Amino acid sequence: MIERTVLEIQQHRFWSWQRGRSVTPRSQLRETDLLMLAVEECRVRRLPLIPTAIWRRIVHLLSQVGDGYSTRLGIDRSVDRSSELLFEAQAALMKAEVDRRRPRRDKIISLFR
């Protein structure tokens, strides 16, 4: 009985950890917000190129959002181009989040004919 309880607790901990780490449009939106803040900080400091650590996160996020974003970004590390594509990715993620939360219309099967 105790072994079963221990196993159930371990499963609960595992799945609660997985829920927090899952990639959803909302978690990606949070990351784009943080990246936009970092890009704006680069703009305020008048850096011509985005630092490598931020650049890698931007490329990784844009590749998760869609295929076209990372190819359109290419190797251009300019602040303006990166912020433009992050805005477009945010719009796509907002639409994906709305679609994910919208109830689906399933086919209704009539019971009586």
Does some domain include residue 106? no
Does some domain include residue 3? no
Does some domain include residue 5? no
Does some domain include residue 110? no
Does some domain include residue 113? no
Could you report the per-residue pLDDT of 60-85, keeping only the tens digit for each?
A: 888 888 778 888 888 888 888 888 99
Does some domain include residue 15? no
Total number of domains in the chain: 1
Does some domain include residue 109? no
* Domain with 58 in it: 23-100
Cβ-proximal residues to 31 (8 Å cutoff; 6+ apart), any chain: 57, 61
Does some domain include residue 112? no
Could you report the per-residue pLDDT of 29-61, keeping only the tens digit for each?
A: 888 999 999 999 999 999 888 888 889 999 988
CA dihedral 13, 16, 21, 22 (to 10 degrees): 130
